[in-house]
Amino acid sequence: MGKCEHCGQELKKNIIKGLKNLEIFYKLIKNQFVYGGTKYAQTETKEATDVLFDDFGKGWLLGTIAKYIKRYSNLARERDLLKIATYMFILWLKRGFHVKKKGSYDVINTTVKAKTEYFPVFVDTINEYLNNHIIITEKPLDRIYELLRECNATIFTLTKEEKLLEIFYLAYYIWNKEIKEKGKDEDVFNETKLKEKVK
């Protein structure tokens, strides 16, 4: 079959057909980024994640994701796995893999509009990746943490797409294996955004 263009690994066939609840997981991720993007909108072109990334760099965002790994290991909450996967999609966008095959050297802002527009492209990319890879690890949370550390040690514009895709898959893998009541612990409840003028 040949080798994967992402990582050079020998391609496998039809792995994705055996992955259960993947469409449900995608729906929950979309709920997460639409809700979060609305909640954290800053301007027409930036969300809080973009502003914080600009001000504090990728280490801030990777550390936030690592926090969810630690919290999941203590509390086993579905919402933490959903956040890890959602942030992988956001990093994939920020890195510009939807713009160029090898990613962009410009850091991209991630509005709800951009996320909604490019989520189907991400889903196609992750499906292609999953259809051609067997990822086996005894300790998926540890592997996610290790991959985040590797991303942190790399210049952001050199971050490899396959690392983000693998982290997304591992979050899905844990969610599918360990979360019994899927979709019951989303962090997407109704809140109203209060804007008060400060005098």
Give a yes or no: residue 145 inside a domain: yes
pLDDT digits over 129-176, tens only?
Answer: 988 877 777 899 999 999 999 999 999 999 999 999 999 999 999 999
Give a yes or no: residue 197 inside a domain: no
Give a yes or no: residue 13 inside a domain: no
Residue 14, burial from CB neighbour count under 10 angstroms (0-12, 13-18, 19+): exposed
Give a yes or no: residue 193 inside a domain: no
Give a yes or no: residue 92 inside a domain: yes
Give a yes or no: residue 39 inside a domain: yes
Give whichever of 5-19, 44-58, 81-95 has the largest mean pLDDT: 81-95
pTM: 0.86
Residue 187 has pLDDT above 80, yes or no: no
Residue pair 127/108 in contact (Cβ under 8 Å)? The answer is no
Q: Which domain holds residue 99?
A: 26-178
Number of domains in the chain: 1
| Contacts with 143 (C-beta within 8 Å, 6 or more apart), sequence order | 137, 166, 170
Residue 194 has pLDDT above 50, yes or no: no
Give a yes or no: residue 50 inside a domain: yes
Give a yes or no: residue 58 inside a domain: yes
Q: 125-139: b or e for each residue (b if 16 or more CB lie within 10 Å)?
A: bbeebbebbeeeeee
